[in-house]
């Protein structure tokens, strides 16, 4: 039951350039290898959640791990989020390194009390005595054709809470490096994966294929360098920002695309530095606008010296401010599309379309 991640290492290419010789890996396999490597490295790490063991995970992220590590360390739970999440938090308090999988983050709402009131605050309440080294992970964000209860982003919800670290990886390198960092981190980390990206392949550098690869939590990545405008995004919206940037490039507009990677801490410095260069910002996210990630970035820019570099207001591109419909055509327009980003960029730059 080797994952393609493991196979990938075996036939790793020597090329370090970004051409086709670079190893491709799905986000799913990247997450799988992160779990595998960290479980191998640290006996205290264990995975629990619904269908994670025998069924290999509802989205097959834990494929092969139960076979490899056995039922002591890869544990199927009943459908009792509040219960098993609390158990995981307790186990972390007592020295283990749980990875608590929510089949999707929609169901973490059943357990959000343990995440906010137990995991996030115990270190503070105990005056630094009891830290809670736990990872809460699972698919988050808009999915396809599943209706209002199963299609929403919890980035704003979790990143609102001090005491939590919150990451929102975009591609395979992000997924692997950030999940490994999350598992090693001494604090509770919420890892918001994106279901629609699980099956997408992205290049993995030699470095990223290594067992020592970790990415720092709290650091954004500049996905594309540009000088006219900064697009700030996380998760699947990074893809959207990159697509828009490509299209804009054809019209002579060079957009800089920032992949936040981490929602808490938020790497505002990278944003500020970019704004100092481009003087224009558009944020891009799939979640709801109110108190959202874009709202936070906009506020932080206003509160920083970057404000004085702005040539026009920060504009947010977000999901529509309503629940997600099942209707296919409505679902499509409930989420931001490339033309929305282009529209926002044109407005900000004062370019007529």
Ligand X SMILES: Cc1ncc(C[n+]2csc(CCOP(=O)(O)OP(=O)(O)O)c2C)c(N)n1
Binding site for other proteins (CB under 8 A): 50-51, 54-55, 58, 76, 78-80, 82-83, 106-107, 109-110, 143-150, 289-290, 315-323, 325-330, 333-337, 340, 343-344, 347
For ligand X, give the closer residue by CB, 80 or 312.
80
Nearest to 197 by CA among 350, 59, 318: 59
For other proteins, give the closer residue by CB, 145 or 216.
145
Helices 27-41 & 172-184 angle (0-180, nearest 10): 30
Give the Cα separation of 334 and 287 in Å (integer): 10
Question: Among ligand X, other proteins, none, what binds residue 326 when CB lies within 5 to 8 Å by partner kind?
Answer: other proteins
Nearest to 82 by CA among 118, 57, 56: 118
Q: Going by DSSP bridges, is the β-strand pair 74-76/97-101 parallel, antiparallel, or unpaired?
A: unpaired
Residue 72 CB, nearest distance to other proteins (Å)?
Answer: 15
Give the Cα separation of 84 and 102 in Å (integer): 10
Residue 289 CB, nearest distance to other proteins (Å)?
Answer: 5
Residue 331 annotated to the active site: no
The secondary element (H helix, E strand) that includes residue 165 is strand 165-167
Closest residue to bound ligand X by CB = 107
For ligand X, give the closer residue by CB, 58 or 281.
58
Residue 149 CB, nearest distance to ligand X (Å)?
Answer: 8
Q: Which of 150, 228, 279, 280 is catalytic?
A: 150
Contact 305, 271 (CB under 8 A): no
For ligand X, give the closer residue by CB, 8 or 139.
139
Residue 207 annotated to the active site: no
Residue 59 CB, nearest distance to ligand X (Å)?
Answer: 11
The separation between CA 335 and the C-alpha centre of its own chain, rounded to angstroms, equals: 18
Question: Among other proteins, ligand X, none, what binds residue 78 when CB lies within 5 to 8 Å by partner kind?
Answer: other proteins
Question: Among other proteins, ligand X, none, what binds residue 327 when CB lies within 5 to 8 Å by partner kind?
Answer: other proteins
Residues in contact with ligand X by CB under 6 A are 50, 79, 81, 103, 107, 110
Helices 268-278 & 293-302 angle (0-180, nearest 10): 70
Residue 148 CB, nearest distance to other proteins (Å)?
Answer: 7
Give the Cα separation of 264 and 154 in Å (integer): 13
Question: Among ligand X, other proteins, none, what binds residue 96 when CB lies within 5 to 8 Å by partner kind?
Answer: none
Local structure of 330: helix, strand or coil: helix
- Distances in Å between the Cα of 140 and the Cα atoms of 61, 152, 157, 311 are 14, 7, 12, 34
Question: Among other proteins, ligand X, none, what binds residue 139 when CB lies within 5 to 8 Å by partner kind?
Answer: none
Residues paired with 99 in a beta bridge? 47, 135
Residue 192 CB, nearest distance to ligand X (Å)?
Answer: 17
The alpha helices in the chain, defined as continuous H runs, are 4-10, 27-41, 65-69, 81-93, 112-113, 122-125, 155-159, 172-184, 206-209, 236-249, 268-278, 293-302, 328-334, 338-349
Give the Cα separation of 72 and 84 in Å (integer): 15
Residue 138 CB, nearest distance to ligand X (Å)?
Answer: 10
For other proteins, give the closer residue by CB, 162 or 339.
339
For other proteins, give the closer residue by CB, 92 or 314.
314
Question: Among other proteins, ligand X, none, what binds residue 70 when CB lies within 5 to 8 Å by partner kind?
Answer: none
Q: Which of 38, 81, 173, 331 is catalytic?
A: 81
For other proteins, give the closer residue by CB, 21 or 79.
79
User: Active-site residues: which are they?
Assistant: 81, 150
């Amino acid at each position: 039951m080797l994952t393609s991640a493991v196979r990938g290492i075996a036939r790793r290419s020597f090329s370090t350039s970004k051409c086709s010789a670079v190893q491709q890996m799905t986000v799913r396999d990247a997450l799988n290898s992160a779990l595998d490597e960290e479980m191998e490295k640290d006996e205290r790490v264990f995975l629990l959640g619904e269908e994670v063991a025998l069924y290999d995970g509802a989205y097959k992220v834990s494929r092969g791990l139960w076979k490899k590590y056995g039922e002591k360390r890869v544990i199927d739970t009943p459908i009792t989020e509040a219960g098993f999440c609390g158990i995981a938090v307790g186990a972390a308090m007592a020295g283990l390194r749980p990875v608590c999988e929510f089949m999707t983050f929609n169901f973490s709402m059943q357990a959000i009390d343990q995440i906010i009131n137990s995991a996030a605050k115990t270190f503070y309440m105990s005056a630094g005595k009891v830290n809670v080294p736990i990872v809460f992970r699972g698919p988050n964000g808009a999915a396809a054709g599943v209706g209002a209860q199963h299609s929403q982003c919890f980035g704003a919800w979790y990143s609102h809470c001090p005491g939590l670290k919150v990451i929102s990886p975009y591609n395979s390198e992000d997924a692997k490096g950030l999940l490994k960092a999350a598992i090693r981190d001494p604090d509770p980390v919420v890892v918001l994966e994106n279901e629609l990206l699980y099956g997408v392949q992205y290049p993995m550098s030699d470095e990223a294929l290594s067992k020592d690869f970790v990415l720092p939590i709290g650091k954004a990545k500049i996905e594309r360098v540009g000088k006219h405008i900064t697009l700030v995004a996380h998760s699947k919206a990074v893809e959207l920002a990159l697509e828009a940037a490509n299209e804009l490039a054809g019209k002579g507009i060079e957009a800089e695309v920032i992949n936040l990677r981490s929602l808490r801490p938020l790497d505002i410095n990278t944003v500020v530095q970019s704004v100092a260069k481009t003087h224009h910002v558009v944020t891009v996210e799939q979640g709801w606008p109110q108190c959202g990630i874009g709202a936070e970035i906009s506020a932080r820019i206003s509160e920083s010296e970057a404000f004085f570099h702005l040539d026009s207001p920060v504009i947010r591109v977000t999901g529509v401010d309503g629940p997600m419909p099942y209707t296919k055509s409505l679902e499509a327009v409930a989420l931001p599309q490339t033309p929305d980003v282009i529209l926002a960029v044109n407005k900000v730059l004062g370019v007529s379309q």
